[in-house]
Structure 1
């Protein structure tokens, strides 16, 4: 579309409308602390001829998406903590062998082989930890999510059981 077309000939796809409105709302709300009440959202939806039921379903979908985003952030934080622990273990383990080599007076030639041999798994761990897309990431996330849900369920059941046993 060119800018000199008459207003009556302009038409936009649904994706275009969504992007334009997103940009307009972002420009109007320059301050990130600006919040909209649910009533304001209802008014905007009414002006756009969006039914309250559709808005309610969209809000429910948004809440689910936000939960998934939070879960992924927790998973990513877990992976980084796990990597930091392994990297610390690697540093301590190899530091010990380098120190032994230095004390015995042989330089660090002997511990260099251990350093390189142990560095390979650490390199793979770096790759797996910071690879945030792809099938392997999704499989790892699903496995972590299932384990997390199982732990949460067991914890809830045990808490209810312990509360029932308390006088």
Structure 2
């Protein structure tokens, strides 16, 4: 009696077998065509799958770059927050007089309100799904595409003169 495998299980088994068979961990296009032929996969289906894979890989790279930029922006804002709030607290301690909270006056209010805004921004940064995330990602993609187009035009203009 033949063993039956779920499609995902079969894909994983084949992935492991192919990885073990190739020394460098990479396959040439010819090897990929040969494997597809042995599995009765048409060259057209393989080409379509390869195009789909390239699109998915590009989207994953976009997500990774977008998230890295968001995290860097948040990190810069947190550092700026820390420096400015520290400066304001020092000013509060150096000024004469105090409030019911000791020597912390206006710096406490600034820290609380700015900190609230910063925490909301952090929550938004770490949320990597949903309608808002997709809208921000698409906006980032458009901006990046415009920058790349503009850079190409400038490079062509400067290169041709």
TM-score grouping bracket, smaller chain normalisation: 0.7 to 0.9
What is the number of residues matched between the two proteins? Answer: 156
Match of 1:109 in 2: 104
1:155 to 134, 142, 151: 151
For 1:1-167, what aligned pairs fall within 5 Å after superposition? 6-7=1-2, 10-11=3-4, 14-15=7-8, 17-22=10-15, 24-25=17-18, 28=20, 34-104=25-95, 106=98, 107-110=102-105, 111-164=107-160, 166=161
| Distance (Å, rounded) in 1 between the aligned partners of 2:134 and 2:18 | 33
Cα RMSD (Å) of the superposition?
2.3
The structure whose RCO (Cα within 8 Å, separation 6+) is larger is: 2
More off after superposition, 84-93 vs 98-107: 98-107
Aligned residue for 1:91, secondary structure, equals helix
| Distance (Å, rounded) in 1 between the aligned partners of 2:103 and 2:17 | 62
Q: Which runs of 4+ in 1 moved over 6 A?
A: none
Return closer, same or farther for 1:150/1:53 CA change in 2, 3 Å cut-off: same
Q: Which runs of 5+ in 2 are unaligned?
A: none
| Distance (Å, rounded) in 1 between the aligned partners of 2:62 and 2:21 | 28
| Distance (Å, rounded) in 2 between the aligned partners of 1:23 and 1:29 | 9
| Distance (Å, rounded) in 1 between the aligned partners of 2:72 and 2:17 | 39
Aligned residue for 1:133, secondary structure, equals coil
Q: How far is 1:109 from its partner?
A: 2.4
Aligned residue for 2:41, secondary structure, equals coil
Q: Which runs of 5+ in 1 are unaligned?
A: 1-5
TM (normalized to structure 2)? 0.83
